[in-house]
Amino acid sequence: ENWVCDKETYVPNTLSFTKIGEVIGTLIIGQLGDTVHVHYIFHAYLHAYVSSYKSLTLGRCVAIVSANHYFIFLVACILAGLHNGVVFQAPLIIGMEISSVRLRAQIALLQCVGWTSGMCLMPMIAWITGGNWKLFTLITSLPCAAVFIVYRTFPESPRWLATRGKTRQCLQVLNQIARVNGTAVPENAMEVLQNLKGNREKVYGLASLCSSKQLLRNTALICTLRWYSCTLVQLVSFSIILNVANMSGNPFINMFLQAIVELPAYLVGKLVCDKYGRRWSEAGAILVSAAFQFICIAVVLDIHTNSGQKEYNSILVLIVKFCITVAAYCAYLRCMEIYPTCLRQTGTSAAVLVSMGFGSLGPYIVFLGDSIRYEVRYPYGILGSLCILGTICSLLMPETLNQKLPETLQDSAHFGKNQEFWNFPWKSRNQKYVPTATVKRN
């Protein structure tokens, strides 16, 4: 559509408006997940998700006819972005709530691998379609319909049903899970569920995140970490997307290689999180990325005088993306673990809301470095500063590995208070997991 010269800001505008849609959708729908819960949100949202992509496709088709319809195209981008955040979170939250404590990192890994697999397929589809973005848009929108085949297989979270006092539905789901696992539900299960029903807590959406100082502190740190990790990942990704045409070689292969680097990063993230803990793994990954960001500042100074420096800079960007992907995985996992069942969707949505809000500025930061020829250091300086801030915030967060995770707001008010700063999970490997689902409350 000739988005060049006086229209060169159209590309970052498109990316940012999609993120604005995600912010709006997360703000509205995220809180509903802890009221009607993610199972129903997930099912209802799948229909809206596909409808949004139809709107996006329609908006792009209109943009094909005339560039004067760019405003409609941006509106379609917002509609499509409304559903991205919650649909991505909902299946992961359900999976983590019905899985063993030991498998939480693996559940998060599986979803991240699925995401990266799609990112690897995307440039290949673009290559096969000959760079025809109209056909590419249609092909990549069709798989959204596949979710209707599998979404009914998702069970409701028994943890959430128990916290909402729905004992009979909870017992039905537990029996279903027991049949699949070849086990049996204890005979006193209904009695335990009735005891939990008497301790039902009221949840007031985002306001519940301020119910205690400790929970508010953890929420603020999580939001900062998610803002940092999401913004940094987006900035690196946007810089790759916006600058891939300037790199040597096949642009589709370049995009594929830059996407596939996330696969080993997620695997490494899972391994270090389970061995060294979430806190130290995340802080270490952020610190390493900070070092390479500052190296990038020195390298880009010679790009205009030495063309060979572009290859070095591309390698450094891949290393940064690897480290940031590890950190983002750690932050994502901690965000899921640190909130109780009754507030998990709301807390996660709050973190995503903050990260997406600031992340919408990412394309413009990249555009700043691309437009001001002799100030290409700006994006790397901003990223490096965010890395330092992220390292500090990560170390201030409590460790969740081998810890009894909070189940109620009262648990969240005390979680992490008694943890020592120099706490090394790998030195206490004999510590056993506490299966929170079996804890009885008076």
For every residue of 126-191, DSSP letters joined together read: HHHTTT-HHHHHHHHHGGGGGHHHHGGGPPPPHHHHHHTT-HHHHHHHHHHHHHHHT----TTHHH
Specify whether 293 is located in the same domain as 387. yes
Specify whether 237 is located in the same domain as 180. no
Specify whether 279 is located in the same domain as 334. yes
Report yes or no on 122 lying in a domain.
yes
Residue type, 120: C
pLDDT at 66: 42
Please report where in the chains the tokens 């740190």 appear, as a residue.
221
Coil, strand or helix: which one is 5?
A: helix
Q: What is the full per-residue pLDDT of the chain (442 aa) written as tens digits?
A: 555 556 666 666 777 777 777 777 767 765 665 555 555 554 544 444 444 444 444 544 544 454 456 777 777 777 767 766 667 777 777 777 777 777 878 888 888 888 888 888 988 998 898 867 777 877 877 776 676 676 667 777 787 777 777 788 888 888 888 888 888 888 888 887 777 665 666 665 666 677 677 777 777 777 776 666 666 666 665 555 555 555 556 778 877 877 888 899 999 999 998 888 888 998 999 899 889 888 877 776 665 555 556 667 777 878 888 888 898 888 888 877 887 776 777 777 777 777 766 666 666 666 666 655 546 677 778 778 878 888 888 888 888 888 887 877 777 777 877 788 887 877 765 444 444 333 333 3
Specify whether 54 is located in the same domain as 159. no
Report yes or no on 205 lying in a domain.
no
Specify whether 113 is located in the same domain as 261. yes
Specify whether 166 is located in the same domain as 243. no
Specify whether 91 is located in the same domain as 223. yes
Report yes or no on 16 lying in a domain.
yes
Report yes or no on 422 lying in a domain.
no
Report yes or no on 203 lying in a domain.
no
Report yes or no on 441 lying in a domain.
no
Alpha-carbon dihedral angle through residues 367, 371, 372, 373, given to the nearest 10 degrees:
120
pLDDT at 109: 87
pLDDT at 12: 65
The span from the CA of 403 to the CA of 107, in Å, is: 18
Q: What is the DSSP letter of 67?
A: G
Report yes or no on 432 lying in a domain.
no
Specify whether 144 is located in the same domain as 166. no
CATH number of 324's domain:
1.20.1250.20
CB 209 within 8 A of CB 344: no
Residue type, 111: Q
pLDDT at 198: 58
Domain of 269 in residue numbering reads as 5-153+210-416
Specify whether 269 is located in the same domain as 169. no
- Which residue, among 255, 329, 315, has the nearest Cα to 286 in the 3D structure? 329
Number of structural domains, the chain?
A: 2
Listing DSSP states for 11-43 in one string gives: HHHHHHHHHHHHHHHHHHHHHHTTTTHHHHHHH
Specify whether 100 is located in the same domain as 174. no
Specify whether 161 is located in the same domain as 50. no
pLDDT at 264: 92
The span from the CA of 156 to the CA of 170, in Å, is: 8
Specify whether 285 is located in the same domain as 165. no
Report yes or no on 201 lying in a domain.
no
